[in-house]
């Protein structure tokens, strides 16, 4: 049994991930900003912990995740406000990495997106630019850390039912298949249990390769 802390615990992926972890016997704590979301988190099989990571300092985050075997960072500002995008998707993510190192939590899984990176190619006049920049910075910081990291890089997210199969050879194009959030949750759960995923960037969309097969081939 592992002790897993999910940051961004009321997000759609987090609410799908928590029951997968709970069902296999892991202990799950979901860190949320809004206390009104606590019941939703409990219904997913996780224990809620209220902490606004956008404004929390490294020490507060470190205290919240202390004793965990792994952290999954799924928090995001949701777009629309560049300042908040940088504050959550970049700054809070990097503080969480630093907090994990401080707390001795070596395993860190970050949800990014397919095509993320310093060479993302998004125009500065695009509304997507702050998100692309924030994710690029967070991804680079995690890769340069000493943590046992995994970066999940799914394609455009959908609410489709889980298939349990992905395309691990996906690269970002305008015609990418979508990626079910439920499949992202399954990949996150599988990655946490599979050492082959450590220090790996896992780019994928929905596809035909069973998730365990894809991860074992890393």
Q: What contacts 80, CB < 8 A, 6 or more positions away?
A: none
Query: Would you state the pLDDT for residue 174?
Result: 64
Q: Residue for token digits 């998100």?
A: 131
Selection from 11, 2, 9, 13 nearest residue 188 by Cα: 13
pTM here? Answer: 0.96
Query: Would you state the pLDDT for residue 80?
Result: 79
Q: Residue for token digits 């060479």?
A: 119
Q: Measured between alpha carbons, how far is 14 from 96 in angstroms, rounded to an integer?
A: 16
Selection from 27, 35, 34, 22 nearest residue 5 by Cα: 27
Task: Flag whether pLDDT at 158 surpasses 80.
Answer: yes
Query: Would you state the pLDDT for residue 136?
Result: 97
Residue range 3-216 forms a domain whose CATH class is alpha beta
Mean pLDDT across 146-167: 97
Q: Catalytic pick from 86, 113, 129, 131? A: 131
* Pairing, β 27-32 against β 47-50: parallel
Q: Measured between alpha carbons, how far is 209 from 96 in angstroms, rounded to an integer?
A: 32
Domain ranges in the chain? 3-216
Helix (H, G, I), strand (E, B) or coil at 135: helix
The pLDDT tens digits for 80-134 are 799 999 999 999 999 999 999 999 999 999 999 999 999 998 999 999 999 999 9
Task: State the average pLDDT for the chain.
Answer: 96
131 is catalytic: yes
- Mean pLDDT is lowest, of 90-99, 168-177, 183-192, for 168-177
Count of all residues that appear for the chain in the document = 218
Selection from 147, 87, 137 nearest residue 112 by Cα: 137
Q: Measured between alpha carbons, how far is 138 from 116 in angstroms, rounded to an integer?
A: 10
Q: Are 28 and 68 in contact (CB under 8 A)?
A: no
- Mean pLDDT is lowest, of 59-63, 119-123, 162-166, 182-186, for 119-123
Tokens at residue 206, please? 């929905």
């Amino acid at each position: 049994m592992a002790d897993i802390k999910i940051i961004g615990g009321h997000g759609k992926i987090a609410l799908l991930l928590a029951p997968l972890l709970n069902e296999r016997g892991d202990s799950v704590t979901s860190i949320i900003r809004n206390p009104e979301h606590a019941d939703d988190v409990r219904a997913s099989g996780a224990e809620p912990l209220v902490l606004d990571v956008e404004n929390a300092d490294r020490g507060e985050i470190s205290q919240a995740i202390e004793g965990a075997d792994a952290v999954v960072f799924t928090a995001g500002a949701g777009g629309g406000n560049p300042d908040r995008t940088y504050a959550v998707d970049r700054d809070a993510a990097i503080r969480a990495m630093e907090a994990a190192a401080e707390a001795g939590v070596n395993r860190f899984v970050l949800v990014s997106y397919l095509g993320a990176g310093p060479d993302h190619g998004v125009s500065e006049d695009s509304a997507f630019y702050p998100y692309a920049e924030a994710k690029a910075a967070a991804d680079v910081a995690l890769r340069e850390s000493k943590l046992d990291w995994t970066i999940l890089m799914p394609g455009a997210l959908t609410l489709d039912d889980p298939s349990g199969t992905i395309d691990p050879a996906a690269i970002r194009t305008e015609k990418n298949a979508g990626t079910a959030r439920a499949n992202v949750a399954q990949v996150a759960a599988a990655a946490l249990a599979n050492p082959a995923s450590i220090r790996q960037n896992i780019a994928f969309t929905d596809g035909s390769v069973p998730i365990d097969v894809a991860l074992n081939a890393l």
